[in-house]
Amino acid sequence: MQENTAKTFSMSLLSLCLLPFLFQAKCSSPLAPALYIFGDSLTDSGNNNVLNTLAKVNYKPYGIDFPDGPTGRFTNGNTFVDFLAQFLGLPDVPPYLGLSVAQKSSTITGMNYASGSAGILRETGTALGNIVLVLN
């Protein structure tokens, strides 16, 4: 029984060690045509920057690992969605509210509708201000 546990632990550790290399792989052609994101602060790429809300992170130290500084991501670097897009061979998924009408109609590789402080219920996060509501 202990041998199986040790083997499982070893395989898990090996998988965790190889995971970063998997995400660094470059694809010659995209593995998916587009990526559409719905979520909260874990996946928000800057939608809250243009909303009237207290849930904003478009200032330092957020985004210090990006060349142009803060992006509106609730992290100092990439979110797991950014890594997923890279793995699929797609460009960074732009925030829906950060695009012009022309850009929205011409973007074919996906959009990010995530909004920090959003949740499954319509009322979630509204105490802080506006959130992106996709469905009525």
Tell me which H or E stretch contains 81.
helix 80-88
Whether residue 101 is contained in a domain is answered as: yes
67-110 confidence digits (pLDDT tens): 888 999 999 989 999 999 999 999 999 999 999 999 999 999 99
Q: Which residues contact residue 13 at a Cβ distance below 8 angstroms, ignoring those fewer than 6 apart?
A: none
Query: Strand, helix or coil at 49?
Result: helix
Residue 14 domain-assigned (yes or no): no
Is residue 6 domain-resident?
no
Number of domains in the chain: 1
The boundaries of the domain holding residue 85 are: 29-128
Per-residue model confidence as pLDDT tens digits over 7-47: 565 556 555 555 555 555 554 677 889 999 998 889 999 99
Q: Which pTM value belongs to this model? A: 0.71
Q: 127: which 2 tokens?
A: 């105490």
69 in a structural domain: yes
Question: Is there a domain that residue 134 lies in?
Answer: no
